[in-house]
Amino acid sequence: MSDSLPPHNRLSWLKRVELVGLPLLLVVSLWGGAVLFFTDIRDAFRQPVAVAEHQPADGARLFRQNCTYCHGERGEGNGIASLTIKARYFGAEPYKFTDTQGTKIPTDDALIATLKRGIEGSSMPSFAHLRDDELQALVTHLRGLTRKGMYEQLTRKAMKDFDDGGDEPNVVAIAAKTDDLCKVGTLMAIPKEFRGSDLSSITAGRTLFLAQCASCHGPEGLGNGLQVKDLKNDNGTPAHPRNLTSGVFKGGRDKQDLYTRLALGIPGTPMPALPAGTPQTDADNLINYVLSLSGE
């Protein structure tokens, strides 16, 4: 039909098509693009959000964030916190709450347990909020600080001996001795079962307590024994026997924890281990009596 139109009418018709069709085509194109764009946005929000895996735990960073305030940047117990009881100088001072014999360097499990529990009755808080891999990384960093502190302690001793007329310090020998002393000790066997608490056990435990513990802890366990005024820790600071009636035990209050303290003592303090060969029955009775002092 259009072929039958005069040339000028055909041109007019094409112009009308351009004026109407092109804007319409543009609108349709824009609308289609907008639909595709918002569909992509909608689908993106419908997709599950990928959670990035946490970065590997960094023991040095964790120590800086959580420990330097008390223990200092290099673990020397010289942080900026004002503490009644000085924080541990790792390596140069022994770990108090160990689970091993020999070197008495604790196992990872013992160190992690202390981190999780904290040290009740002291400024050491619980770090149970840290992930397991973070706790392990922190313990690994502590191993390095322990070796550093041990090496520094042995070097100071060697230098003092040299000043007093002894042999010149041998750094190779000091390093080898450091490695030996920093090895994890032999894990101490802990009984699987303990005697239940009854009157006869508590009575027997009190007899043992008066004979072996009262001179420091006092006859009623108040921490006021006759020897208190003379007690010193290995680093020269005053020692304060625990008031057992408070029920606060720094190394843990379970029978397993108390047995470990009795069997190994508390290194670096005047708290001794029970005499070798002490029957478990005696230890059980003593534990039951100590727990009874706080109403347990």
Tokens of 24: 């319409």
pLDDT at 37: 52
Buried/exposed 19-58: b ≥16 CB within 10 Å, e otherwise: eeeeeeeeeeeeeeeeeeeeeeeeeeeeeeeeeeeeeebe
Tell me: the pLDDT tens digits for 257-282? 999 999 999 999 999 999 999 999 99
Report the pLDDT value the prediction gives residue 91, as an integer from 0 to 100. 96
Q: pLDDT exceeding 70 applies to what percent of the chain?
A: 82
Q: According to the model, what pLDDT value does residue 181 have?
A: 97
Please state, in angstroms and rounded to a whole number, the distance separating the CA atoms of residues 1 and 53.
71
* pLDDT for position 235: 87
Instruction: Write the pLDDT tens digit of every residue in 66-97.
Output: 999 999 999 999 999 988 888 999 999 999 99
pLDDT of residue 26: 58
Tell me the backbone φ, ψ of residue 46, rounded to 5 degrees. Answer: -75, -20
The CA-CA-CA angle for residues 230, 235, 239, to 5°, reads: 35
How much is the pLDDT for 11? 46
pLDDT number for residue 5: 46
Give strand ranges (E) for 45-190.
100-101, 186-187
149: left (phi over 0), alpha (psi -120 to 50) or beta: alpha
- Joined together, the tokens standing for residue 110 give 């013992």
According to the model, what pLDDT value does residue 184 have? Answer: 98
pLDDT digits (tens, 9 = 90+) for 32-48: 555 455 554 455 445 44
| pLDDT score for 12 | 54
- Predicted pLDDT at 84: 84
pLDDT of residue 296: 72
Tokens representing residue 6 in the block: 């005069």
Q: From CA 43, how far away is CA 31, in angstroms rounded?
A: 18
pLDDT for position 56: 86
pTM: 0.78
| Element housing 182 (H / E) | none
Whether 10 shows a pLDDT value over 50: the answer reads no
Give the model's pLDDT for residue 268: 94
Considering only residues 14 and 57, tell me which one the structure prediction assigns the higher pLDDT: 57
Convert the pLDDT of each residue in 112-167 to its tens digit: 999 999 999 889 999 999 999 999 999 999 999 999 999 999 999 999 999 999 99
pLDDT tens for each residue of 119-132: 998 899 999 999 99
pLDDT interval class at 185 (50, 70, 90): very high
Query: Using one digit for the tens of pLDDT, what is the confidence trace for 229-246?
Result: 999 999 899 999 999 999
